[in-house]
Structure 1
Amino acid sequence: MFALGSTDTPKIAVNGWSDPQRRPLINFIAVNEVGPMFLKAINCQGEYKDKNFIASLITDTVGEVGPQNVIQVITNNAPVCRSAGLLVEAQYPQIFWTPCVVHTLNLALKNICAAKDTEANAITFAECNWITDIALDANIIKVFITTHSMRLAIYNQFVRLKMLAIADTRFASVVIMLKRFKMLKRGLQSMVISDQWVSYKEDNVKRAQFVKDKVLDDLWWDQINYIISFLDPIYDMLRIADTDKPCLHLVYDMWDNMIEKVRVAIYRHEHKHETKESSFFDVVHKILVDRWSKNNTPLHCMAHSLNPSCVDEFSDQDSMNDRGIMDPKLWWVVHGASTPKLQALAIKLLGQPSSSSCSERNWSTYSFINSVKRNKMTPQRAEDLVFVHSNLRLLSRRTQQYKEGESKMWDVGGDAFDPLDGAGILEFANLTLDEPELEIEILGEGGHDVEVDE
């Protein structure tokens, strides 16, 4: 993603994926505070995607947009992207490479929820492997119920809300799955103690008993509640960053507040005073701090320092009163005239996002264009169609009809939404983390009210 200096010029998000024919493609999306705009997708088939190749694609796109307009290039956190970003910075000193905050948070969640059993990671694995076990149990229950028509029929009698088939590539997949299980708790418990479940005979009796034991195990549910409680602050920050809205200036404060909320949740569960040590929190804290240390940039610091809440030089009463109620960018427009250079810089930075999420949402558009019926389409033809379809779709999101009425958020679920195996497919390209209410409407059997178990 390239962040641009002019409010009328979009910034660009960069992300890679493979189409249905396994052709590697890299998306380039331009975004400003008005919204994202699809620029192009490059077919990298037959190319060695090293730092020089990726850097050349980025610099070519910077040249098309105009280097004087670009503030930052946002990619994921892969080492090759980092190296390519440094090459771009060397060629254009005024442009910053910025890792995607959402990807950074997702990597931290993976380090916590799926700790690797290696010698170098022994302490982390010893403290966190129980989380992996809980997530594995939940996945076993989900697969056992949704992959057999009779079990699924029994489930549907007791639970109105569908389960989710969440890809591992989706951000915060473990948290989302456990949150859904918490919502299903009472229905699952009613199901496994019902006459239908008891009388149902099939070949995997041992697995059926395992499901029943887990669903009726209060300790197992307590562990799920605990996991959700200390991962919720990370998930909440991820949701805020997983938008096209300007939030670069908020990252510093959000990260500090998130770590503090994680600490409070863990210490509350362990019944420890804040002066005591917690080996589990020490591990989680180290993971979060290491991720932040590897991925924070001077741009984060600069944007944070220009946030009106952190500015002390403008001490007149009006500017002080407006800090907490006025949009930061608008605050600088109104109160920053006395420092024109600083004002111009603040207006640029306070309109910047912190993630490349908009480029990832474009994957579903390519999946639509490159369907089974259109699998002979050339990449150039697909790019032209995606350019038109994506930008018309993005333009429609700015209309009033998109926000209310029968056509509200028409493009989220899709006209052909058809859950497989009785599990709602929560795909991050179609449904982002900042649309949970609509996700319940789509996957919750016509938007029925759903009772959430505490």
Structure 2
Amino acid sequence: MGESDKLKRASNDIGWEYGMLVDSTNLDKLKCKLCGKVVSGGIFRIKQHIANIKGNVSACPKSTNRNVKKWVYEAGIPFKAIDSDSFKRFVEAVGQFGSGYQPPRQYLLREPLLKEEVERTKKSLRKQEEEWALNGCSIMTDAWTDRKRRTIMNLCVNCKEGTTFLSSREDSEEAHTGQYIFEYVDKCIEDVGPQNVIQVVTDNASNNMATTDLLKKKRPNIFWTSCAAHTLNLMLEAIGKQPRFKGVIEKAKAFTIFIYAHHKTLALMRKFTKKRDIVRLGVTRFATSFLTLQSLVEKKEKLRSMVTSDSDAWGECKHSKSAKGKAAYSTVLSMSFWNGVTQCLKVFAPSVQVLRLVDGDRKPSMGFLYGELKQAKEEIKVAYKNVEANYRPILEIIDAKAKDRLDRPLHLAAYLLNPYYFFKDQSIENEPMVMDAFITCVEMFFPDDFQLQHLVLNVELLKYKGKVSSFGRALAMAGCACNDDNYDPEVEPGSGLTWGMIGEAAGTDSALEPRRSYRNVEVREFHEEDFQSDQETEEEGDEEYDFESDEERVLEGYGEEELET
């Protein structure tokens, strides 16, 4: 190393472009590269010298406008510094340029560009605000706890034109009582305009249920509805805990834990599956279980070949001889296990299709939710060959979870007014619950206006039922023969559910890329350093995936933590 190299410091501080050590053993004394002046006090003094900050050191006579601009820019001074008094004093202190010195052009551009962006954003929101006033909107609440145990609550406004973020705040120090949440939501309603708000959407937590009681008292003309995606996830998890499914899911879980717990078994699995993983993480515990079952079915033959191949690679792996290794071997060769996985997917798939519908942003789903859930129940009956003793427990879970959440007046009124369902089966109007819900909606939409209520119930509704006027046109009739799936560019008409749809609904974009774990906000992918080498002592693996050693039993609570809301 040359002497000049010794006088340089391995630092990103911009000051080292203008100064160097006089002596490599003395870090306090530096020399200015521009004028050669030696100063004491480290790199901070050099920067004062270059910038002509008076008081501690003399100004550099050879510092130029270009040098100072470069230093200000590359030093990363915050944009707001241009308006601060200290920045103005800094400019005035650069004596050779006088008080007329202009900051770098980057700063001169930031403020007008920011103002233009603010105006552009406001303009883009005007269209949504006009839609709020014309056809109404929904207030949506969303709350979660991050990894630092901070509780965040968001409020958004949704309408036909899309979703708008309205407000967010950290609520870590407050008790999330129904009263507290209500006051926050009610302020949002005032900001948007009570006359524009049709419904407030929350999850099913007890504090939110208490909020709805307060909402009904103060805002009797605003509906409360449960978050359909949240309700459907809870419904699917409850089904997954049934004995006929739980055993299969637990075996699949134990098999994947064993495979991912060791380098040798993981490498062997990836060899036979062409480097494709079998674990896929979804945003909920149900999604993770479902996607893993789906992945196992896709790789069934490859996994069976892994443990029975002529190379006997499985038998040569020391972990295959452990109790868990033998259990994994039995699982992957068990026909009853694979039959159970197939049955799980057949039962879950119809409800997952409904989940995908309500959890997407491409089309409004209110008009299809109730009807598609009814269809899902019919498909579950078919999966059990219409044997009531087999399908009844599943439908009871669905009905219990949906009651007062997915069958609110808005859901039923939308179901009645959806030609896709009504023009196929006009007996819908004879269902008392449906008609009562429709009348409730009319009374809430037009309170105290009996003339308008009469017009809607006794004139306009009859036109709809009789396919009068525009309802009878050929184009309208053709549209009534299609639902959302038929308009979906990813799906051929009549093709039904695909695994790609299921992956999207459950929280994954592709077969290979895990997304967010339901327990952690950040995304983590599988890396080799997450697993120990075969030479190291067997210990529990990464907590997020609950991988563990052969000496420890499978964790009892694996994947059964409650979803935070």
Q: TM-score, normalised by structure 2?
A: 0.52
- 1:286 CA drift (Å): 1.1
Residue 180 in structure 1 maps to residue 280 in structure 2: no
Paired letter, 2:239:
I
Residue 264 in structure 1 maps to residue 382 in structure 2: yes
Alpha-carbon distance in structure 2 between the residues aligned to 1:318 and 1:111? 41
Paired letter, 1:248:
M
Alpha-carbon distance in structure 1 between the residues aligned to 2:272 and 2:395? 40
Alpha-carbon distance in structure 2 between the residues aligned to 1:280 and 1:421? 44
Kindly provide the CA deviation profile for residues 298-317 of structure 1, in whole angstroms up to 9, marking residues without a partner as x: 11122222223434133348
1:249 alignment partner in structure 2: 367
Report if the CA contact (8 A) 2:314-2:320 is conserved. no
List alignment gaps of at least 5 residues for structure 2.
1-128, 423-463, 482-504, 510-514, 531-543, 545-565
Paired letter, 1:246:
P
Residue 14 in structure 1 maps to residue 141 in structure 2: yes
Report if the CA contact (8 A) 1:152-1:422 is conserved. no
Alpha-carbon distance in structure 2 between the residues aligned to 1:170 and 1:7? 40
Kindly provide the CA deviation profile for residues 111-133 of structure 1, in whole angstroms up to 9, marking residues without a partner as x: 2111xxxxxxxxxxxxx313111
1:129 alignment partner in structure 2: 243
Residue 37 in structure 1 maps to residue 164 in structure 2: yes
Alpha-carbon distance in structure 2 between the residues aligned to 1:183 and 1:419? 20
2:14 alignment partner in structure 1: none
Alpha-carbon distance in structure 2 between the residues aligned to 1:303 and 1:90? 24
Report if the CA contact (8 A) 1:179-1:228 is conserved. yes
2:417 alignment partner in structure 1: 306
Kindly provide the CA deviation profile for residues 326-382 of structure 1, in whole angstroms up to 9, marking residues without a partner as x: 489xxxxxxxxxxxxxxxxxxxxxxxxxxxx9xxx9x97xx99x98xxxxxxxxxxx
1:222 alignment partner in structure 2: 339
2:305 alignment partner in structure 1: 190
CA pair 31-422 structure 1, distance change in 2 beyond 3 A: farther
2:271 alignment partner in structure 1: 157
Q: Which is bigger in relative contact order (C-alpha 8 A, separation at least 6)? A: 1
- 1:421 CA drift (Å): 5.9
Report if the CA contact (8 A) 1:16-1:25 is conserved. yes
Report if the CA contact (8 A) 1:172-1:235 is conserved. no
- 1:94 CA drift (Å): 2.2
Q: TM-score, normalised by structure 1?
A: 0.64
List alignment gaps of at least 5 residues for structure 1.
115-127, 268-273, 329-356, 372-415, 428-454
Report if the CA contact (8 A) 1:163-1:422 is conserved. no
CA RMSD, aligned part only? Answer: 3.3
Alpha-carbon distance in structure 1 between the residues aligned to 2:166 and 2:320? 54
CA pair 302-53 structure 1, distance change in 2 beyond 3 A: same
Residue 27 in structure 1 maps to residue 154 in structure 2: yes
Alpha-carbon distance in structure 2 between the residues aligned to 1:324 and 1:133? 48
Report if the CA contact (8 A) 1:7-1:33 is conserved. no
1:79 alignment partner in structure 2: 206
Alpha-carbon distance in structure 1 between the residues aligned to 2:471 and 2:166? 42
CA pair 422-102 structure 1, distance change in 2 beyond 3 A: farther
CA pair 204-168 structure 1, distance change in 2 beyond 3 A: farther
Indicate which of 278, 282, 287 corresponds to 2:392: 282
Report if the CA contact (8 A) 1:58-1:88 is conserved. no
SS of 2:465's equivalent? Answer: coil
Alpha-carbon distance in structure 2 between the residues aligned to 1:136 and 1:227? 12
1:202 alignment partner in structure 2: 319
CA pair 417-89 structure 1, distance change in 2 beyond 3 A: same
Aligned residue pairs: how many? 323
Q: Which of the two has higher C-alpha Rg?
A: 2
Identity percentage of aligned residues: 25
SS of 1:27's equivalent? Answer: strand
